[in-house]
Every structure is written in C-alpha cells, then in structure tokens.
Structure 1
C-alpha cells in the first residue's frame, strides 16, 4: 500500500510505508547515563474549550504515556516546555500535573524531575515577586518527593537589570532547596522571551554568570540542562563544571555525539525528542552501557533528521510534531492539543514528520500509523 503525502511546494508524492517496526521492548535499567524524557500532555478532546481557556487534560492518557516511558527505563522530566508549559498549560494545570505524575512515579518506581518556574505571574513583576513565585513552585515540587528543575523564567528575564540580579535570586533558591536541583538554561529559540538570560545576549558573558552561580553552590546543583542547540558550546561548558555536577544535554540537534562524549567526558540527557524516541533511545543507551559506542551511534544517529525536522524554526512549535507522533504511535486516540496547538505546523511539515518517523521504524503498528495519517490528510483535502 502507498500513502499520498503533500509536498511543501504543492502537489503530492507517493510513499510506501515500512512494513515492520523496530519493535524495542522494555529492558534492564540504564547505567552509564542518566536519561530523562521531557513528556507531553494529552488534551481532553471532548472538552468545550477555546485557545484562551485553561487546559483540559486527559489525565488517564497523560499518565499512561509516562508509564510507557518509565517501562523502558527512562526518567520523566515533568511540566517542562514539552508539556506546553507557558504555551497552553498554566501554573494551575502544571501543579496538578506535577502532583499526579509524582504520585504515579512512586507507584511504579519511576524517576521524575519537575519544572519549577514563575508562570503564575501573568504580568510585569518585581524581583521580589519573581522570587516568591519560584519559592511557591519549589515548595510544591519538593512536597511531592520529585527532584526540582529550576527553569528559566520569562518574568525574571523581564525584571532583571543586571547579571547580579540572576546571581542573587538563584543563589537564594539554591540555598533554600532541600535537595540538589537541575538548573535549566533554555535558549531564545525555544522561547523568545528568554533572550538575554543570565544578564547578557553575549553567550560567553552569560555562560560566565551561569558558571559563577553553579560554582558557588556545587552541593546544591545535581546538574545543568543546556538547550542552546550549540554542541561546541555545550562541550566547552560541561568541561568547566565543578566536579560532580552533571551536564544534561537538551540539544535536540546534536544529542548522539553529546551523549556519546569524548575523551574529556559526556553529557547525560534531558530531551524533548526522547518523548517520541523513548524505546529506541533507551535501547541505544543500553548498547552504550556495554561500551559499544559505534552500536549506540548506529541506532541513534538515524533519528537526528527527524529531530531536526521537528525542532526546526520556529523551534518552540516542536510540540506539535511530538504529539502527532504520539497519536500515530497509538499512545493517544486523537491529534488534539491544549491551546489548539495542533494547528501550529503545516500539513507538509506533519507529513514529513510521519515519513521520517516511519522510515526509522518508530511506529509500533505501522498500519495504524498509516491509517491515522491518511485520515488526517483526507480531512485536510489530500484524498487517498
């Protein structure tokens, strides 16, 4: 059978889907790397909402997807930007997500780390208000027993007037944290409101401020998650980290080489692309656990084209492709997103995502994926 896919410039092309998936199953725990998948939320398709409404979440499907990730040995990075934090999921929804997912993690013995931000602030805020918002969210995450991820804050980026403001606020939060946290540096390609984070648009200057914060509190920093899509900069940064502080790559363009590492070290992983790649990524890391770096790269390198496609500019809309693939893979019954974000990518973009994912054997049931993709294409005027 073939499926007709739309071309970006018009017209259609015939594509013959792969007959069999790669078919990875759950295996032994990962040992050589700590790996988190930032997980998406599943919208409730029956809720009568508008783009301005509070998110309506299908909690059963959302938690089932997290159990899927845990079953393959991955940790879950919860309530991050992949979960549409700040793009459809407000703080009230994120807080409920954190509570439910943390409870589920305890039930199944899964690793979980949760995003701490300031998104309950809806307008201009003072530094004192930013600090209080962070404190509120940190307290909630710690109360659930989950690890905290201190996320970059739009409100802080708007309120800070110098690098010292970042140093003072983060130092306060690290002193207050009861357990070591993960610091998250999210670049403006993921969120334009974070331009100039750490007090400068000069990345060298910003890196120095970031490292000053870490070096002053190494006992309170488990690791850093870097999402700048710049492999060279990440390697240089991880080589400058204090002993015992991990680098979690958030580079969805260059993750195989960064996780594999070099003679001076390697990156662990906290990645949005590991939402759709979960079973394959876990299998690749298990191969790496045996010391077989070429085997690891052989499995993971072919996924990079798909990841670069999903995360192409405007990068912040990568969530649309992630949810499409979850639907095609059978992890949810619909292609609906909170905030109506399923409309954020074009039909040719989604068709190419399907083609690339199918080509690497990502779908557990290729026939289901083909039929669902055909239904999406048909309703958008591409007859099959």
Structure 2
C-alpha cells in the first residue's frame, strides 16, 4: 500500500507507510533520574464547538486529560498551559485557568510532575502599565499555587511593550520572586516563537539581555528553580547555563538542538521543557532511559534521528508549530479529530502536514500505523489528493 503525498512545488511523491509499529516500552519506575524533563502539552479542542479565530476556547476535557496521563506514563513531566497549549493563540485565560486546575488535580491523582504557565493574558488588548502587568501576574500565580503546582513565569507581551529597560524587568520579577511560595521557572521565549517578545529583559542585544536575566536570578536564586530558554541558539544557552547560580537549572526550550544540550558537556547540561516532546514522548523516554544508565552518547544516537521532524515542525513561521503537533496527536490516535482552538488546523499547508506525517512514520511514532495511514489518506482526500 502506498500514499501519494504533495510536494511544496505542487508535485506528488510516493510514500510507503510503515506496516509494523515500533515498541517503545514505558519505564518501570516513574520519572527519569538523570534529568528533569517536561513535555509542553497541547490542548484538545472540542470539535463540535465554534472554536474559530477569536472565539472563546472550548476544550475537550476528557481527551486533554487523557493525553496528560499518557505523557506521565512515559515518565515525563507536563508543562501545562504553555504556548504549546496555544496560550495566547486560541487558549484564553478563562480556559487556561480551568485547564490548570483540572490538570493539577489529575497530576495529584496520577502522581505526575506538573508545572503551569503564569502570564498576563487576561489583560485587555492595548497598552498596559507596569502595575497592571504585575497585578495580572499575581492573579495567575495565585491560581497555580492554590492548585499545588509549580509556576512558570511566562514571558509577557504586555511587559515587553511596557518596560523601558532592564531595570523595569528587575523590579517586577524581583517582586514576583519575593512573594512566590515555591521556586519558579523563568521563561525566555524568543521572537521566533512570538514576535511581540522582541527585546525581552530590556534589550535587543542578547548579551545585554542575558546579563539582565542572570542578575535577576542571582538576586534571589533560592526563589528560582530554573530558567527555560527558547532562542534556538545553543551557544547562547550554554553560556547562560554556565552563568546561572549553583542549583538553578537551565531548561532547554531549543527544539532544534535538544539532544546535544540535554546530553551536556564537561561543564554541565540542560534539563528540558519542550513542545516537541509532546509527539516524541515514547522515543524521548527510550532515549532518557539510556541517559539514566549513564550513556549520553547512546542518548544522542537514539534521539538525533528525530531532529529532521523537530526542525520541520518548528520551521518558520515557528509559532505555528502547534498545528503539526496536533496533527500527529490525531494520527497517533490520541484524539478523534484534527480540529484546533482558534481554527489553527489551517495554519500549515498540506505539503507541510504531509511531510510531518512522513517523518513521524519513519520514526515509528504511530502506535497503529494503519490508523495513521487511514487518517492521513482522509485528510489528503479533503484537499483533493487521491491515491
């Protein structure tokens, strides 16, 4: 059996789908002792609801929570209500707050590790004062802490627009760190993921911005569990993690270079908080087991074949990567449809989606390759590609 898949130039190529699944056994014990690893998880939309652009988010809670249990079953933590969940791109704050509460309760029942995004996206559109930004952060931080979860202080579009320089970031984050009940994760999301975050930490100069972030952490290191950096620049990430105070983790958010960053070097390693771990959970768990056994070379050998898929999913415009993630969840049988919050299933072209399927199939990421093939065939048919 073959599939005809569309090329970007309008042609068609033949793909022979995998027949047999790859067996990725679940770990015998929860977690992975060698690294702290969180998969930023996607949210499953209710396909019967009016989840169009700008509409309030309507979530399929059963499917969404089932997917979190699936991630925990592979020993991965869950990073909840982050950008992979379409935070600020279809997932509004009322739905995000409900997602945080439900997922935190599920984590407590399942014994899964969870961190949750704290932002300022309840603010109305338009300019905001620094005081308003601070109040918004505090409101969301209270929701996460009341659920017993650890907070990720997400980069704020409103703060990026309101701050005049590094001193404003230092003052605001310093106050948030002072009042947080538990150590938090600070979040540096680059403009390739969100153009509105350009110049975060007070400068377009990445060296200046890095210094400003390190200074914020150094002022209250006991209040910071780690820093999550998503700049797709491995050299900058390595330099940042070397400058962080002892005991403060560097969580890679680099979906292009994560095998080398997590494996580490003679001076240290990155932990991970990655959107790409959503579709890669079985393969990532297998690779992490090798790392747990003290074999970083085998870890890289196991995980590096996934880089072509990762780099394809996160190809520019990078912020549209969620479409490919949700496609793979549907093809893998984790949900019954390819519908997204905000109608974002249309954010990538058919050739992009076809290549996503092809790369994932080659990696053996589909528990039932026949289901994946049938669903991909049905999608192609909707677009008028038969055969």
Under TM normalisation by the shorter chain, which class is it?
over 0.9
Counterpart of 1:327 in structure 2 is 330
Aligned Cα root-mean-square deviation (Å): 0.7
Counterpart of 1:90 in structure 2 is 92
Rounded Cα–Cα distance in structure 2 between residues aligned with 1:97 and 1:245: 28
Q: Which runs of 5+ in 2 are unaligned?
A: none
Q: Comparing 190-199 with 44-53, which one deviates more in the overlay? A: 44-53
Deviation at 1:18, TM superposition (A): 1.5
Deviation at 1:48, TM superposition (A): 3.1
Q: Deviations over 1:157-206 (max 9, x none)?
A: 01111110000000000001010000000000000000000110000000
1:7 corresponds to 2:7? yes
The counterpart of 2:321, out of the listed 315, 318, 322, is 318
Rounded Cα–Cα distance in structure 2 between residues aligned with 1:8 and 1:53: 31
1:304 corresponds to 2:307? yes
Counterpart of 1:168 in structure 2 is 171
Q: Deviations over 1:347-379 (max 9, x none)?
A: 000000000000111111111000100000011
Counterpart of 1:24 in structure 2 is 24
User: What secondary structure does 1:276 align onto?
Assistant: helix
Rounded Cα–Cα distance in structure 1 between residues aligned with 2:303 and 2:261: 12
Rounded Cα–Cα distance in structure 2 between residues aligned with 1:236 and 1:291: 24
Rounded Cα–Cα distance in structure 2 between residues aligned with 1:195 and 1:122: 20
Counterpart of 1:144 in structure 2 is 147
Deviation at 1:25, TM superposition (A): 2.4
1:159 corresponds to 2:170? no
The counterpart of 1:60, out of the listed 59, 62, 85, is 62
Counterpart of 2:373 in structure 1 is 370
Counterpart of 2:385 in structure 1 is 382
Deviation at 1:292, TM superposition (A): 1.3
User: What secondary structure does 1:285 align onto?
Assistant: helix
User: What secondary structure does 2:115 align onto?
Assistant: strand
1:294 corresponds to 2:291? no
1:111 corresponds to 2:113? yes
C-alpha contact (below 8 Å) 2:255/2:310 kept by paired residues: yes
User: What secondary structure does 2:244 align onto?
Assistant: coil
- How many pairs are equivalent? 384
The counterpart of 2:122, out of the listed 116, 120, 123, is 120
Q: Deviations over 1:304-357 (max 9, x none)?
A: 000000000000000000000000000000000000000000000000000000
User: What secondary structure does 2:254 align onto?
Assistant: coil
Rounded Cα–Cα distance in structure 2 between residues aligned with 1:303 and 1:162: 39
Q: Deviations over 1:262-317 (max 9, x none)?
A: 00000000000000001110111111110112221121000000000000000000
Rounded Cα–Cα distance in structure 1 between residues aligned with 2:250 and 2:22: 30
Rounded Cα–Cα distance in structure 2 between residues aligned with 1:182 and 1:25: 30
User: What secondary structure does 2:45 align onto?
Assistant: coil
C-alpha contact (below 8 Å) 2:52/2:341 kept by paired residues: no
Q: Deviations over 1:116-159 (max 9, x none)?
A: 00000122110000000000000110000000000000000011
Deviation at 1:207, TM superposition (A): 0.4
Q: Which runs of 5+ in 1 are unaligned?
A: none
Deviation at 1:22, TM superposition (A): 1.9
Rounded Cα–Cα distance in structure 2 between residues aligned with 1:349 and 1:293: 32
Deviation at 1:97, TM superposition (A): 0.3
